[in-house]
């Protein structure tokens, strides 16, 4: 199935899906509310058969050229049977971002969603065990957000050395050419 046919197949389920050119390929930008039904269909429909979730990650769009401030989450799917791939992406608001979990469809997503939750604060609804993966349970904030402020201390241990205090990193500057 070529890229256009793939897009058409996805659009039968999610009419709002749009293909966005990115590098040599394209990704499909879909509304967050459509993720739950779309992922099940991508995995189980015979002509799609995306049996493998290759990657799941998220990133902060704050300050990125041409993007509204928000949190992006991306899924990269592969069909070993048909040897085709698709990249799905959603843009979520920075305040309380939430999207459906796919851990029930691809168990490998469990830890990836925990990582995205840990570092970006995205809530994956339906995840069986949504806890922080890398940082301690009582850590404050989500460090991969671009407006994250460094901790002054953690459990009484100062973060800075010898009285130095770490300032928050400067706000991201829009790059030239950005919107």
Partner 1 sequence: MGGTDPDLPDGVHLTAVDDLFAWGKEHSLFYLLFATACCGIELMQTGGPRYDVDRLGMIPRATPRQADLMIIAGTITHKMASRVRTLWEQMTEPRWVVSMGACANSGGPFSKASYSVLNGVDKVIPVDVYIPGCPPRPEALIDGVMVLRERVRRYRTLGLRDRDPQVIAGADDDFGTHPGKA
Q: CA nearest 88: which of 123, 119, 118, 58? A: 58
The site string for partner 1 over 150-169 (x = CB under 8 A, - otherwise) reads: xx--xx-xxxxx----x---
Contacts with partner 1 in 83-142 (CB under 8 A)? 135-136
- Which of the stretches 10-18, 69-77, 87-95, 143-151 binds partner 1 when contact is defined by CB under 8 A? 143-151
Q: Which two tokens stand for residue 121?
A: 């604060």
CA dihedral 29, 56, 135, 147 (to 10 degrees): -20
b/e map of 58-82 (b: 16 or more CB within 10 Å)?
Answer: bbbbbebeeeeebbbbbbbbbbeee
C-beta closer to partner 1: residue 81 or 159: 159
**How many residues lie near partner 1 (CB under 8 A)?**
14
- Which of the stretches 41-49, 81-89, 122-130, 144-152 binds partner 1 when contact is defined by CB under 8 A? 144-152
Q: Which two tokens stand for residue 107?
A: 């168990």
User: What is residue 39's three-state secondary structure?
Assistant: helix
**Nearest distance, CB of residue 157 and partner 1, angstroms:** 5
- Which of the stretches 58-66, 105-113, 122-130, 145-153 binds partner 1 when contact is defined by CB under 8 A? 145-153
Where along the sequence are the contacts to partner 1 (CB under 8 A)? 135-136, 143, 148, 150-151, 154-155, 157-161, 166
């Amino acid at each position: 199935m070529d890229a256009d046919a793939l897009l058409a197949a996805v659009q039968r389920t999610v009419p709002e899906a749009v293909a966005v050119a990115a590098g040599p390929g394209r990704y499909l930008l879909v509304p967050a509310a459509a993720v739950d039904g779309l992922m099940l269909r991508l995995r189980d429909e015979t002509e799609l058969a995306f049996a493998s979730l290759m990657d799941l990650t998220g990133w902060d769009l704050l300050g990125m050229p041409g993007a509204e401030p928000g949190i992006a989450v991306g899924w990269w799917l592969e069909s070993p049977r048909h040897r085709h791939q698709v990249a799905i992406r959603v843009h979520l608001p920075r305040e309380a971002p939430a999207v459906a979990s796919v851990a029930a469809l691809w168990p490998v997503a469990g830890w990836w969603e925990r990582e995205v939750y840990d570092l970006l604060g995205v809530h994956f609804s339906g995840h069986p065990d949504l806890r922080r993966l890398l940082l301690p349970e009582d850590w404050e904030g989500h460090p991969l957000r671009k407006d994250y402020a460094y901790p002054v201390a953690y459990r009484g241990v100062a973060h800075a050395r010898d009285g130095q205090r770490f300032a928050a990193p400067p706000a991201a500057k829009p790059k030239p050419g950005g919107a």
